[in-house]
Amino acid sequence: MSKKTTTSRKSRRRVFVPYGYRQTVTLHGSEVTVRSSLEAEVLQNLVEANADFKYERDVLFWVSSHKYTPDFTIKTRSGCVIYVETKGWMRSQDRTKMLKVKEHNPDADIRFVFERSTTKLRKNSKTTYAMWAERHGFQYADLVVPREWLEE
Q: Where are the domains of the chain?
A: 36-150
**Which of the 8 DSSP states describes residue 120?**
B
> Tens digit of pLDDT for each residue in 95-115?
999 999 999 999 999 999 999
Percent of the chain with pLDDT over 70: 81
pTM recorded for the entire structure: 0.71
Q: Where do the DSSP E strands lie in the chain?
A: 3-7, 14-18, 23-27, 30-34, 52-55, 60-62, 66-68, 72-75, 81-87, 109-114, 139-142
The fold of the 36-150 domain, in CATH, is Restriction Endonuclease (3.40.91)
Coil, strand or helix: which one is 127?
A: coil
Which is it for the CA torsion 101, 47, 139, 76, positive or negative? positive
Q: How confident is the model at residue 76 (pLDDT cuts 50, 70, 90)?
A: very high
Q: Is residue 10 pLDDT above 60, yes or no?
A: no
Tell me if 113 sits within 8 A of 40, measured CB to CB: no
Percent of the chain with pLDDT over 90: 49
Question: What is the reported pLDDT for 36?
Answer: 79
Q: Can you tell me the mean pLDDT for 71-85?
A: 93
- Cβ–Cβ under 8 Å, residues 148 and 80: no
Q: What is the mean pLDDT of residues 83-105?
A: 92
